[in-house]
């Protein structure tokens, strides 16, 4: 393939990538899609281990609580990870491509009935991070991030497990609240494409110079 053709392809790909909207690789990251028997206007419902009530997610350990308009729910339905009773665990698999970097973001608060220091332990494609509520006010919202680069193409796992900060009493019913979970593939910056095009242009110049000789 000629240098000019390669450059044109790269330019078109860069333009298409820049204009495309990022896609959340997590299904039902805002927890708004639930089984009919689990819909309600306010309060909570226990979702036990093994239940498929929360579309896209697998509930593990003991249970999680689906909450809405109560207990410091963040936006519509949220998840009180500790459940009734705890511990709670929530996971989902998503597709990855080798060499691609992925970023996780999620919002976290804490159930108004639980103590500060309740939190979550996150495993994101093998990268582990612990996040805790530290403010006295339960309505403080924390936006958290993690990233990892996939080693192989296939499925990776995102999981949330209830956790308590060292020295914090572990409340058995009211824990960290999570919502708005999103996983995005990192998009190269425009400068990356500019450098690639510059390199291709230099290769073309050297080739023409060599041919002239």
CA separation for the pair 205, 197 (Å, rounded): 12
Interval 151-177: pLDDT, tens? 999 999 999 999 988 887 777 788 899
**Tens digits of residue pLDDT in 131-142:** 988 766 666 778
- Packing angle between helix 3-19 and helix 190-212, nearest 10 degrees? 170
- What pTM was computed for the model? 0.79
């Amino acid at each position: 393939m000629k240098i000019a053709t390669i450059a044109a392809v790269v330019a078109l790909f860069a333009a298409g990538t820049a204009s495309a909207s990022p896609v959340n690789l997590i299904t039902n990251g805002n927890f708004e899609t639930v089984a009919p028997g689990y819909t309600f206007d306010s309060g909570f419902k226990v979702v036990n281990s093994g239940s498929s009530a929360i579309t896209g997610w697998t509930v593990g350990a003991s249970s999680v609580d689906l909450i809405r308009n109560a207990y410091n729910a963040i936006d519509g339905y949220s998840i009180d990870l500790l459940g009734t009773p705890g511990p709670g665990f929530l996971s989902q698999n998503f597709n990855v491509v080798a060499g691609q970097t992925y970023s996780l973001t999620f919002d976290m608060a804490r159930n108004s009935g639980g103590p500060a220091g309740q939190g979550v332990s996150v495993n994101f494609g093998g990268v582990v991070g612990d996040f805790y509520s530290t403010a006295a006010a339960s309505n403080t919202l924390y936006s958290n991030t993690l990233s990892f680069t996939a080693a192989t193409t296939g499925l990776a796992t995102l999981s949330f497990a209830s956790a308590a900060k060292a020295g914090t009493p572990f409340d058995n019913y009211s824990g960290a609240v999570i919502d708005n979970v999103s996983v995005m593939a990192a998009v190269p910056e425009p400068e990356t494409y500019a450098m690639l095009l510059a390199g291709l242009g230099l290769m073309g110049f050297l080739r023409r110079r060599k041919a002239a000789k």
